Amino acid sequence: MHALDGCRILLVEDDPDTLFLLGEGLRGHGAEVLTADSGEHAMAELGVWHPSILMTDLSLPGMDGTTLLSRLRERSELAKLPGIALTGHGDQAHRDASGRAGFAKHLLKPTRLTDLIVAIQAVEQSARDQPGAPRELPAILAEVNHASPCRFTSLLRFNADETLTSVWTYDRENPGVDPFPLELPIHASYCVLVRATGTTCSIENARTDPRTASHPKRDEQSTYIGVPVFRPDGQLYGTVCSYDPRPLVLGASVQQTIEGSTRELEAIIVALGSA
pLDDT given for residue 229 in this prediction: 92
Same-domain check for residues 34 and 144: no
180-201: pLDDT as tens digits: 988 889 999 999 999 999 999 9
pTM of the shown model: 0.78
Same-domain check for residues 36 and 100: yes
121-174: pLDDT as tens digits: 878 776 665 444 445 778 889 988 999 999 999 999 999 999 998 988 999 998
Residue 146's SS3 state is: helix
Which among 97, 132, 167 is the end of a domain? 132
Same-domain check for residues 74 and 175: no
Same-domain check for residues 101 and 201: no
Same-domain check for residues 112 and 185: no
Same-domain check for residues 83 and 203: no
Measured CA to CA in angstroms, residue 8 lies from 53, 55, 56, 99 at distances of 6, 10, 14, 22
| 80 is a domain residue | yes
pLDDT given for residue 232 in this prediction: 84
Average confidence (pLDDT) over 239-246: 96
| 2 is a domain residue | no
Same-domain check for residues 112 and 167: no
Is the per-residue pLDDT at 202 higher than 70?
Answer: yes
| 116 is a domain residue | yes
| 118 is a domain residue | yes
Smallest Cα–Cα separation from 120: which of 22, 1, 224, 238?
A: 22
Is the per-residue pLDDT at 32 higher than 80?
Answer: yes
Same-domain check for residues 89 and 185: no
Average confidence (pLDDT) over 16-41: 94
Which among 90, 116, 132 is the end of a domain? 132
Which among 83, 105, 132 is the end of a domain? 132
Same-domain check for residues 107 and 233: no
What's the pLDDT band for 115 if we cut at 50, 70, 90? confident
Count of the separate structural domains present in the chain: 2
| 12 is a domain residue | yes
Same-domain check for residues 82 and 21: yes
Give the strands of the sheet with 32-36, arranged side by side.
32-36, 8-12, 53-57, 83-87, 103-108
What's the pLDDT band for 274 if we cut at 50, 70, 90? low
- Read off the CATH number of the domain in which 55 is found: 3.40.50.2300
Cα distance between residue 84 and residue 91, in whole Å: 16
pLDDT given for residue 270 in this prediction: 64
Mean pLDDT of the chain: 88
- Read off the CATH number of the domain in which 259 is found: 3.30.450.40
Which residues are CB-neighbours of 198 under 8 A, at least 6 positions away? 228, 236
| 3 is a domain residue | no
Same-domain check for residues 71 and 107: yes
Same-domain check for residues 122 and 187: no
pLDDT exceeding 70 applies to what percent of the chain? Answer: 92
254-269: pLDDT as tens digits: 999 999 888 888 877 7
| 61 is a domain residue | yes
Smallest Cα–Cα separation from 65: which of 47, 49, 81, 48?
A: 81
Structural domain that includes position 22: 8-132
